[in-house]
Structure 1
Amino acid sequence: MIAYVDMFSGISGDMTLGAFIDLGVPVEFLKEKLSLVLTGFQLKTTLVYKNHLKATDLVVDVIDQGRPSRNYKEIKALIKNSSLPDYVKRNSLAAFKKIAQAESHIHGQDIEIVHFHEIGGIDSIVDIIGSFLCVDYLGIKKVYASSIPMGSGSVTCSHGKIPVPVPATVAILKDIPVRESDATTEIVTPTGAAIISTLASSFGHMPEMIMKKVGYGSGKKETGSRLPNLLRIMLGDPLADEKYHNTVVQKQVIHVVKTNVDDMSPEILGFLMETLFENKALDVCYVPIQMKKNRPGIQIEIICSKHDLDNIVHILLTQSTSIGVRHHECDRCFLLREKAFIETSFGKLQVKKITNPDNSIRFVPEYDVAKTIAREKNMPLKDVYTQILIDASFHDPLHLTGTDVEYKTLK
């Protein structure tokens, strides 16, 4: 089972828990499991309709209103000393660590003693731990998510009035795709940001799946948006396409960047390629083309991650003669590859270990390693490659257990 979290109106802890309950997680199950961690609360759910969409509105009714907010050290002990499932413990600790690091940096306090204020109360602890309990209950193996819409305006907290998105949310969502929205208030809370940044393996388009269930969790605010204040979570089975069902075939959303030039020196093109790779370009290629006025030119094509797109575009416009670039989002599939060491005729060498779609293993020599040997041994590079491949064929791929593993030639 996989899940897609569609944050068309943002995300908060109660919206997330409400959507999971709407998907079929029993409230009594949550009460029982959460009682292993803390007491002093009740869970109340109501069916609501927003823009004619039925959703579950969850309220965490805190009985002990006088209990002060906990600090990170107290919350860690609370979770670690509980009898929660390991998956729930691990992810709950990871989510709270994100919040603690954000608050620690913002307020200049030691991470262990920083108080969480609004997000250190019982309701937020219930939302975070409860969300991971729901994932475990529903048997969700992988979570995907949309990019995250951000609100605007300001909110009032214990420190006074602060801008939206609030600083803690901004810090937690570092390196995660966000977008603007027409909401005029906070629609992504630190709790919601911590939950989804811990849960989701990727952000972007909905994955291909066979839809099984849809759940809606209701937010409390009027956001000023044209969209209802709801969170939608879709459950389904990944497509049973054997070609891509095998986990060794990886999928990734990338960006393709292109530009055409007809007035660049080959030396500068060489420097440009080196600079792009140094700045996390995944691949760079130059293609001969015929441009306007019958000029021979070069098409520069780069693939990169979304996080690195702006920097790659800046380098291209700075280091080349291009006055404009084009880019688009693209899906790519690639084989699982790892670093490994094998014994060869030239000693122990680093190689790439690649897992084929049928789970067979092949080894590929590293160019820089082979080049060094070719120069040291005064051998043709092609002969070094061939010898490494021959030596690699004697290795038993079943001995591989992970990256940086040493292989012994089977005699």
Structure 2
Amino acid sequence: MIVLYYDCFSGISGDMNLGAMIDLGVDEKYLLDELNKMHLHGYHIEITRDERKGITGTKVNVILEEHHHHDHDDAPGHDHHHHHEHRNLMDIEEIIYSSELSPKVKKLSMDMFNKIAKAESKIHGKTIEEVHFHEVGAVDSIVDIVGAAICYDFLKVDKVISSPIEVGKGFVNCAHGTFPVPAPATLEILKGIPIKKGNIPFEATTPTGAAILATFASEFREDLNINIHKTAYGIGHKDKGDIPNVLRVFLGEVESYEELYMLECNMDDMNPEIYPYVMEGLFKVGAIEVFLTPIIMKKGRPGVNLSVLYATSKEEEIKDLILKETTTLGFRKYKVQRQYLRRNIEYVNTKYGQVRIKNSYLKGEKIKSKPEYEDVKEIAEREGLPFREIYNNISEGQNGK
């Protein structure tokens, strides 16, 4: 399994993440071309080599052409003092969904913005629609967040894992005043995620950085056995204290197993029409597997067992959804270990057009391949041919028959 590992010993901000991704191998031109699909104006991106405490990496500056330079020294990834346009979530959604970015990048970007909006909403006692983004509504932070989604999509890793996140110490100036580190929004976004506090003498992790990890990472741990393929560094905009202000990332391979949790509950008094809605909602909030099992409950009554497999970082949202949307009064939870083959998606040209093929690997050797169901379905409907005929033709072509 190919893993992207974030070693956040000096925190994370949006610009540090972009630097680390470029240093890791994300193509600069590809990133800039994709960002241009948003048709945002008034900025350009400066990408340079830099160093902190002798560690060399990539530094990214988003330079605003209509304003003065984005001063990351106030807090990396945060714009606390500039007169940027304030936008609400609908404004940002319009920018992203009206662009030519891929559907996956659009969704990932809005997932991050939604996490920040929910945090700001809770802190300020407003609805999500009423929240106006001060820092993250600015052009530079939109670039940081959408850029993170573009880089993640480019790397096509199987999984993202992070160390516990260093948040720093001291105070930070925000739009509403001076607050202790971590800033309220950062702390809210990182609920349920392990943090470290006090090793860095400034705000080490920003709301943007927190949202990136809360969206991408499915595990937060330090005891990781990884065969490292490449190490990269994103250079921050601070140079204080003894610890270098850099974000270190690893790209490598780990055994294809992970520790997850299974949550189960039994129901015998719920309208069956609700089950598909609940299952779809659970997948949206991060469940890995959701399935229903018919059971016989006490007094011989037929019922249904709902089972949800998930990473611990998604637990709160999954529990809330189940308690709000089903008739259950509680559930069982236990730890499980999931082991699986490493997989990737390959695009192949067939007589029907381009089709996605799912490949599975054991010890580096490809042992299974099959066409993507949705692609076969689309061809069958378009050509008026049997699904099985198209599926078999594509499969035989892959096997050289």
Q: Same fold (TM over 0.5)?
A: yes
CA shift, 1:75, in A, is 0.5
Q: Which residue of 2 aligns with 1:18?
A: 19
Contact 1:144–1:201 (CA under 8 A) maintained in structure 2: yes
Q: Deviations over 1:80-115 (max 9, x none)?
A: 222212221111111101111111222223311311
Alignment partner for residue 246 of structure 2, among 213, 218, 230? Answer: 230
Q: Return 5+ residue gaps in structure 2 as ranges.
A: 68-82, 266-288, 310-401
Q: Is the aligned partner of 1:91 residue 2:92?
A: no
Q: Deviations over 1:150-188 (max 9, x none)?
A: 211112222232211111111111111112232221001
| Alpha-carbon distance in structure 2 between the residues aligned to 1:25 and 1:250 | 26
CA separation of 1:216 and 1:206: change in aligned 2, threshold 3 A: farther
Alignment partner for residue 182 of structure 1, among 174, 199, 217? Answer: 199
Please give the secondary structure, in 2, of the residue aligned with 1:128: helix
Q: Is the aligned partner of 1:251 residue 2:255?
A: no
Please give the secondary structure, in 1, of the residue aligned with 2:129: coil
CA separation of 1:338 and 1:111: change in aligned 2, threshold 3 A: closer
Q: Report the structure number with the largest CA radius of gyration.
A: 1
Q: Which residue of 2 aligns with 1:124?
A: 141
* Aligned residue runs from structure 1 range 43-58, under 5 A: 43-58=45-60
CA separation of 1:250 and 1:219: change in aligned 2, threshold 3 A: closer
* Aligned residue runs from structure 1 range 175-324, under 5 A: 175-205=192-222, 207-224=224-241, 226-239=242-255, 245=256, 250-252=258-260
Please give the secondary structure, in 2, of the residue aligned with 1:54: strand
Please give the secondary structure, in 1, of the residue aligned with 2:48: strand
Q: What amino acid does structure 2 have at the position aligned with 1:31?
A: L
CA separation of 1:223 and 1:341: change in aligned 2, threshold 3 A: farther
**TM-score (norm. length: structure 2):** 0.61
Q: What amino acid does structure 2 have at the position aligned with 1:191?
A: T
CA shift, 1:208, in A, is 3.0
CA separation of 1:160 and 1:54: change in aligned 2, threshold 3 A: same
Task: Quote the sequence identity (%).
Answer: 41
| Alpha-carbon distance in structure 2 between the residues aligned to 1:347 and 1:166 | 51
Q: Return 5+ residue gaps in structure 1 as ranges.
A: 240-244, 254-277, 279-335, 356-411
| Alpha-carbon distance in structure 1 between the residues aligned to 2:181 and 2:204 | 9
CA separation of 1:182 and 1:120: change in aligned 2, threshold 3 A: same
| Alpha-carbon distance in structure 2 between the residues aligned to 1:28 and 1:39 | 17
| Alpha-carbon distance in structure 2 between the residues aligned to 1:26 and 1:54 | 18
CA separation of 1:18 and 1:343: change in aligned 2, threshold 3 A: same
| Alpha-carbon distance in structure 2 between the residues aligned to 1:353 and 1:175 | 21
Alignment partner for residue 171 of structure 1, among 165, 175, 188? Answer: 188
Larger relative contact order, structure 1 or 2 (CA cutoff 8 Å, min sep 6): 2
| Alpha-carbon distance in structure 2 between the residues aligned to 1:348 and 1:252 | 29
| Alpha-carbon distance in structure 2 between the residues aligned to 1:153 and 1:354 | 40
Q: Which residue of 2 aligns with 1:340?
A: 293
Q: Is the aligned partner of 1:59 residue 2:61?
A: yes
| Alpha-carbon distance in structure 2 between the residues aligned to 1:110 and 1:348 | 41
Q: What amino acid does structure 2 have at the position aligned with 1:19?
A: A
Q: Which residue of 1 aligns with 2:4?
A: 3
Q: Which residue of 2 aligns with 1:82?
A: 99
CA separation of 1:73 and 1:113: change in aligned 2, threshold 3 A: farther
| Alpha-carbon distance in structure 2 between the residues aligned to 1:13 and 1:64 | 21
Please give the secondary structure, in 1, of the residue aligned with 2:41: coil
Q: What amino acid does structure 2 have at the position aligned with 1:153?
A: G
Contact 2:52–2:239 (CA under 8 A) maintained in structure 1: no
| Alpha-carbon distance in structure 1 between the residues aligned to 2:140 and 2:98 | 19
Contact 1:145–1:206 (CA under 8 A) maintained in structure 2: no
| Alpha-carbon distance in structure 2 between the residues aligned to 1:145 and 1:206 | 11
Please give the secondary structure, in 1, of the residue aligned with 2:182: coil
CA separation of 1:5 and 1:82: change in aligned 2, threshold 3 A: same
RMSD of the alignment, in Å? 3.1
Contact 1:2–1:143 (CA under 8 A) maintained in structure 2: yes
Contact 1:144–1:207 (CA under 8 A) maintained in structure 2: no
CA shift, 1:67, in A, is 5.2
CA shift, 1:79, in A, is 1.3
CA shift, 1:217, in A, is 0.3
Equivalent pairs counted in the alignment come to: 268
| Alpha-carbon distance in structure 1 between the residues aligned to 2:122 and 2:306 | 39
| Alpha-carbon distance in structure 1 between the residues aligned to 2:173 and 2:252 | 39
